[in-house]
Structure 1
Amino acid sequence: MSNSKKMPYFFNTETHESTWEPPAGLSKEDVANLPGAEYLKGGAPPPGDQVRASHLLVKHSGSRRPSSWKEANITRSKEEAIEILKGFQAEIAGSPEKFAELATANSDCSSHAKGGDLGFFGRGQMQRPFEEATYGLEPGTMSDVVETDSGVHLILRTA
């Protein structure tokens, strides 16, 4: 497991090279028999059934608290907030680096200072729609627009 990304990786003991992708020439069965294979997609959940995620929050006038670190009085509609997120979604195009960059500059959450990283959390710690969306993602994948009382989010599950 990578200590920084909390994701499994492959390490070649002969060449001392590591990669996120399974080595060429290995079948699914070969990969399933490697040490640590339980951490791969579909494997064991993180210890304590916790997940780690980053998010990009766009608040709107109907949000529970329609203000943020960058805007004292948020007046945009929910529909406008969703359109903003869809623009970010297209710009991210699967890149975790772009996600963090956009979250840092645009998220209405204080987690913007950490690229949107919320750290590890377990069930019952987040609003239900956020929790369900996060637990429904595989590590390394991003949600579609998720609505909560806080606003609308894009969620990137990181572990």
Structure 2
Amino acid sequence: MGKDAKAKESGGKGKGKQAASGSDENASKGKGKGAKGGDGLGTCTYVKARHILCEKQGKINEAYKKLQDGWLSNGDKVPPAEFAKVAQEYSECPSGKKGGDLGWFPRGKMAGPFQEVAFNTPVGVTSAPFKSTHGYHIILSEGRKN
């Protein structure tokens, strides 16, 4: 299976999700059992990711809008260095000082919704904002391995 085939398969779960502006498909795509198909998502043991964490939904939406205006609205992937700048500006997590870098973490280390999104977001793709027990997040997936 080539790179283009993977992009088409994950289009509704990654890039397509980004381009949608607030539609209900954001809430369902890229999460749950539907994302664990033959594309390898959800099957790896470790993920490398950056994130932005905000207590208030309005603030995470501002951060996401900044990412949309710069890259996502054009269908582009957010470069990690640019995501890091937005994380430093908006994230309320201590990792924000490091550009939101969480490094490599194993399955089972992060709480429910965060783990679900992190392990089901294709490498290089930025998730839509979502809520966890800690607040509102945006994740940039940087790598995956077993």
TM-score class, shorter-chain normalisation, is 0.5 to 0.7
Task: Name the CA shift for 1:82/1:110 in 2 (closer, same or farther; >3 Å).
Answer: closer
- Name the counterpart of 2:18: none
Q: CA RMSD in A?
A: 2.6
Matched, 1:52 2:36: no
Q: Aligned residue for 2:93?
A: 109
- Give secondary structure in 1 for the equivalent of 2:50: strand
Q: Residues 1-37 of structure 1, C-alpha deviation per residue, up to 9 Å, x if partnerless?
A: xxxxxxxxxxxxxxxxxxxxxxxxxx949xxxxxxxx
CA deviation after TM superposition for structure 1 residue 151, in Å: 1.1
Which one of the candidate residues 68, 79, 83 is aligned to 1:99? 83
Higher relative contact order (CA 8 A, sep 6+): 2
Q: TM-score, normalised by structure 2?
A: 0.60
Code of the residue aligned with 1:55 in structure 2: it is H
Q: Which residue of 2 aligns with 1:38?
A: none
- Number of residue equivalences: 102
Unaligned runs of 5+ in 1: 1-26, 30-41, 61-77
Q: CA separation in 2, counterparts of 1:82 and 1:120?
A: 23
Question: SS where residue 158 of structure 1 aligns?
Answer: strand
Q: Name the one with the larger helix percent.
A: 2
2:134 maps to 1:138: no
Give the aligned residue type for 1:59. E
Q: Is the 2:78–2:125 contact (alpha carbons within 8 Å) kept by the matching residues of 1?
A: no
Runs of 4+ in 1 over 6 A off after TM superposition: none
Q: Is the 8 Å Cα contact of residues 78 and 126 (structure 2) preserved in structure 1?
A: no
Would the alpha carbon gap of residues 57 and 91 (structure 1) be closer, same or farther in structure 2, given more than 3 Å must change?
farther
What is the aligned-residue identity percentage? 32
**Contact kept? 1:89, 1:154, Cα under 8 Å:** no
* TM, length-normalised to structure 1: 0.56
Match of 2:103 among 102, 119, 136: 119
Tell me which structure has the larger Cα radius of gyration. Answer: 1
Structure 2, unpaired ranges of 5+: 4-38, 72-76
One-letter amino acid matched to 2:114: F
